[in-house]
């Protein structure tokens, strides 16, 4: 029986290599929101993520949205 055994193919990639490749595809795309990708890489797209990975990433994404919202927000009135 002949068995396929092409060591140069993608099937031999380690998980880290596969994930790094997927992330680099996104990084090379100018449309990619790199801040979001950084959050994904730090919490989700990694080997052995923490059990709190999803909630941690949600918090980070919320904070990112708030920061972006506040950057264009008017300061509230202040007088006395």
* Binding site residues, other proteins, CB under 8 A: 1-6, 9-11, 13, 15, 18-19, 21-23, 25-26, 32-33, 36-37, 40, 44-49, 53-55, 57-58, 61-62, 64-66, 68-70, 72-74, 76-77, 79-80
State the minimum distance, in angstroms, from the CB of residue 12 to other proteins.
9
Distance, CA of 15 to CA of 20 (rounded, Å): 8
| Element containing residue 41 per DSSP (H, E) | helix 34-43
Distance, CA of 38 to CA of 14 (rounded, Å): 21
State the minimum distance, in angstroms, from the CB of residue 14 to other proteins.
9
């Amino acid at each position: 029986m002949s068995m396929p055994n092409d060591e140069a193919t993608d099937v031999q990639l380690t998980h880290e290599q596969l994930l790094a490749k997927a992330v680099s595809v996104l990084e090379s795309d100018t449309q990619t929101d790199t801040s979001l990708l950084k959050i994904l890489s730090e919490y989700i797209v990694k080997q052995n993520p923490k059990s709190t990975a999803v909630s941690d990433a949600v918090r980070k994404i919320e904070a990112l949205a708030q920061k972006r919202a506040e950057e264009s927000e008017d300061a509230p009135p202040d007088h006395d």
